[in-house]
C-alpha cells in the first residue's frame, strides 16, 4: 500500500490524510464543485474533482471514485464515515479492481447491514439481544412466556404499524389477554392487519458502544466503551467515554461480549458494536454493528492514546497485525466529544449554512479540535452542517465536563448560527452532571434547554 484515495470530505478527510502522512502514505483527495477550497484538498498530495456539488453526483459516485483511484495509481481507498463507508457494492467494486478497501470485506458489510443476521450471530455468540417474537405473530401464551423469561413490561406492536403507532405496553401478566385483544382489533382497524409482534420493553435505556479492531490474522481487540445516550431523534449530540453510568462489572461484560461476537466474523479494521443498557433491569442487549470508523472515534483515542485511523490503515495490509495487545489497552480518565454544528436549536435544529467570518478555537491540555474549517470556509448546504468536533479529556467525568464548558466558552464562530450555547446548557444541566439520563432525556428537557425565543431582533 503506497497511495490512499480518501473518498470523503470535511474533517474526516483531513483526519485520514494526517494519519496517511504519518505512515508515509501518499494521498489522493477527491472534491466536489462546492469543496474546491477545503482543507483536505490542500493537504493531499493530489486532488481530483469528482463531480458537481450534489453528493449523488460526487461523493456517492462509487464508479467515478474507483476510476479516479485507478487513474491516479491509488492502491487503497479509505471511505471515512457516511457516503460510501458502509456500501457493500462499493467495497466489491474496489475488490474487483484490486484496490484495498479500508474496512471489512463486502460480505461482512452486507451481512451486518441486515439486522436479522446481526441478531442471529449475536445469539450464536451467546450475546444477549432484545428478547422478542421476531417477525412472528404472537399468541396469548407467547406473550406470557416472553414476560416470564425476559420480565415485564412487554411491548406489543402492530407488524404493519410504525412510528410508535399501534403500540401497547403490558406491565402485568393479568393484562396480557385484554391488551393483546385490543392491540389486534386496533391494528386491524388502523393497518388492515392484525399481526402483533412482542418484545421486551426497555423503558429507560442508555446507548453504550464498544470500539473494536480486527486484523487479517484473526486478532480482535476492544478499546473500551463510549456512551452516546444524549441523542435527539436518534442523532447523537455528544458522546463520552468510558460508559461510566454502568458498573465496572457490566462494562467489562459488554466489552467481552463485543469481542466474542466480532471474533465470529473474520472482521478486519475498525468497527463499533452497539448495545442498549436497560437501567431498570441492569441488562445489556446487542443492537447492531457499524462497520466504519465513527464520528466519535476521538473519544476512544483520547482515552487510550491509540490512533485508530492509523491502526485501520495498518491492518488493511494483510501482512500486518494489530500493533498492540489487549493487555496494553488502557483507558484512562474521561473524555467528551461535542459536535459543533451550523444549526439553529431555536428552529428545530435546522441546518444554517453560511460562511465562517471569524473563528477562535480553544486549546490547552486535554483539548482536541478536529475540523476542516478556517476563516472563509463555507458551510455548504449540500452536506452535513458539522463545523468541528471538540474533544476534551481529563482525569474524571466532572473534570472533563468543566473542561468542556471552559473550551466552549473560548470557542467563537461568526458568520453562521451554531449550537454552542445549546451544548453548554446540556453540559451544565443537573441531570447530565449527575449522569442521570436516558436516551429520551434530551427530548424531555427540550423546554428547559431551549432558549426563550426573543421576539425582537431576530
Partner 1 sequence: MNSTESMTFQEVEAILRIIDATPHGGQVDITLGGMNLKVSKEISSNGKSDVAPGTPVQSISAVAPVEVSEPAAAAESEAQNAVAATAPAAEGVTVIEAPMTGVFYRQPTPDAEPFVVVGQHVNEGDVVAIVEVMKLMNRLSSPVSGTVSAIRGNNEQLVEHGQVLFEITADEESK
- Considering only 128, 305, 354, 366, the residue that binds partner 1 (CB under 8 A) is 354
Helix segments in 23-85, DSSP class H: 39-43, 62-72
When the beta carbons of 283 and 385 are compared against partner 1, the nearer one is 385
- Contact region with partner 1 (CB under 8 A), list: 15-23, 66-74, 166-174, 297-305: 66-74
- Considering only 66, 102, 205, 254, the residue that binds partner 1 (CB under 8 A) is 66
Sorted by sequence, the CB contacts under 8 Å of residue 266 that are 6+ apart come out as 105, 108, 214, 218
| 416: contact with partner 1 by CB under 8 A | yes
- Considering only 22, 71, 190, 282, the residue that binds partner 1 (CB under 8 A) is 71
Collapsing DSSP states into helix, strand and coil, what is residue 70?
Answer: helix
| 373: contact with partner 1 by CB under 8 A | no
Q: Give the x-and-dash track for 16-45 against partner 1 (CB under 8 A).
A: -----------------x------------
Is the CB of residue 262 less than 8 Å from the CB of residue 289?
Answer: yes
Q: What does the CA dihedral 262, 263, 269, 274 come to, rounded to 10 degrees?
A: 20
For residues 226 and 208, what is the distance between their CA atoms, to the nearest angstrom? 6
Name the nearest CA neighbour of 92 among 82, 78, 105, 103: 105
- Considering only 10, 51, 79, 153, the residue that binds partner 1 (CB under 8 A) is 51
For residues 426 and 336, what is the distance between their CA atoms, to the nearest angstrom? 12
When the beta carbons of 233 and 458 are compared against partner 1, the nearer one is 458
- 61 noted as active-site residue: no
- Contact region with partner 1 (CB under 8 A), list: 46-54, 101-109, 251-259, 332-340: 46-54
Sorted by sequence, the CB contacts under 8 Å of residue 216 that are 6+ apart come out as 268, 315, 318, 320
Sorted by sequence, the CB contacts under 8 Å of residue 320 that are 6+ apart come out as 215, 216, 314
* CB 417 to partner 1: min, Å: 5
Is the CB of residue 156 less than 8 Å from the CB of residue 182?
Answer: no
Out of 251, 292, 339, 368, pick the active-site residue.
292
- Contact region with partner 1 (CB under 8 A), list: 65-73, 76-84, 217-225, 363-371: 65-73
* CB 60 to partner 1: min, Å: 13
Lookup: cell for 130: 432484545
When the beta carbons of 237 and 340 are compared against partner 1, the nearer one is 340
When the beta carbons of 33 and 203 are compared against partner 1, the nearer one is 33
Rg for the chain (alpha carbons), in Å?
23
The residues carrying an active-site annotation are 292
Q: Using CB under 8 A as the criterion, which residues of the chain lie in contact with partner 1 when the complex forms?
A: 33, 48-52, 57, 61, 63-64, 66-68, 71-72, 93, 344, 350-355, 357, 378, 381-382, 412-418, 420, 458
Amino acid at each position: 500500500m503506497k497511495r490512499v484515495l480518501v473518498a470523503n470530505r470535511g474533517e474526516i478527510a483531513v483526519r485520514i490524510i494526517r494519519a496517511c502522512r504519518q505512515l508515509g502514505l501518499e494521498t489522493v483527495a477527491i472534491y466536489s464543485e462546492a469543496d474546491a477550497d477545503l482543507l483536505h484538498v490542500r493537504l493531499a498530495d493530489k486532488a481530483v474533482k469528482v463531480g458537481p456539488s450534489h453528493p449523488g453526483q460526487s461523493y456517492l459516485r462509487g464508479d467515478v471514485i474507483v476510476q479516479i483511484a485507478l487513474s491516479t495509481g491509488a492502491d487503497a481507498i479509505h471511505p471515512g464515515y457516511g457516503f460510501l463507508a458502509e456500501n457493500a457494492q462499493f467495497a466489491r467494486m474496489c475488490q474487483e479492481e484490486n484496490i484495498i478497501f479500508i474496512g471489512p470485506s463486502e460480505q461482512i458489510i452486507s451481512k451486518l447491514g441486515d439486522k436479522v443476521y446481526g441478531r442471529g450471530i449475536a445469539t450464536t455468540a451467546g450475546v444477549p439481544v432484545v428478547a422478542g417474537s421476531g417477525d412472528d405473530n404472537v399468541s396469548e401464551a407467547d406473550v406470557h412466556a416472553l414476560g416470564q423469561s425476559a420480565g415485564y413490561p412487554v411491548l406489543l406492536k402492530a407488524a404493519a404499524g410504525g412510528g410508535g403507532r399501534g403500540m401497547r405496553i403490558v406491565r402485568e401478566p393479568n393484562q396480557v389477554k385484554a391488551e393483546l385483544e385490543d392491540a389486534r382489533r386496533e391494528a386491524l382497524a388502523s393497518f388492515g392487519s392484525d399481526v402483533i409482534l412482542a418484545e421486551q420493553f426497555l423503558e429507560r435505556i442508555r446507548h453504550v458502544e464498544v470500539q473494536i479492531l480486527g486484523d487479517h490474522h484473526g486478532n480482535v481487540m476492544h478499546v473500551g466503551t463510549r456512551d452516546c445516550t444524549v441523542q435527539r431523534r436518534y442523532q447523537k449530540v455528544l458522546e463520552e467515554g468510558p460508559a461510566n453510568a454502568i458498573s465496572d462489572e457490566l462494562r467489562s461484560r459488554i466489552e467481552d461480549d463485543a469481542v466474542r461476537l466480532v471474533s465470529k466474523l473474520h472482521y478486519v479494521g475498525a468497527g463499533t458494536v452497539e448495545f442498549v443498557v436497560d437501567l431498570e433491569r441492569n441488562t445489556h442487549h446487542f443492537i447492531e454493528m457499524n462497520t466504519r470508523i465513527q464520528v466519535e472515534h476521538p473519544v476512544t483515542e483520547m482515552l487510550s492514546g491509540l490512533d485508530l485511523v492509523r491502526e485501520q490503515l495498518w491492518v488493511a495490509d494483510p501482512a500486518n497485525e494489530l500493533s498492540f495487545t489487549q493487555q496494553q489497552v488502557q483507558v484512562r480518565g474521561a473524555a467528551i466529544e461535542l459536535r459543533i454544528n451550523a444549526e439553529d436549536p431555536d428552529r428545530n435544529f435546522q441546518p444554517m449554512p453560511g460562511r465562517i467570518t471569524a473563528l477562535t478555537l480553544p486549546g490547552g491540555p486535554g483539548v482536541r479540535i478536529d475540523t476542516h474549517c478556517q476563516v472563509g470556509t463555507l458551510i455548504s448546504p449540500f452536506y452535513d452542517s458539522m463545523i468541528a468536533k471538540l474533544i476534551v479529556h481529563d482525569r474524571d467525568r466532572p473534570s472533563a465536563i468543566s473542561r468542556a464548558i471552559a473550551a466552549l466558552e473560548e470557542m467563537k464562530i461568526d458568520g453562521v448560527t451554531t449550537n454552542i450555547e445549546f451544548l453548554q446548557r446540556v453540559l451544565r444541566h443537573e441531570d447530565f452532571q449527575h449522569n442521570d439520563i436516558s436516551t429520551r432525556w434530551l427530548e424531555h428537557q427540550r423546554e428547559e434547554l431551549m432558549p426563550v425565543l426573543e421576539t425582537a431582533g431576530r
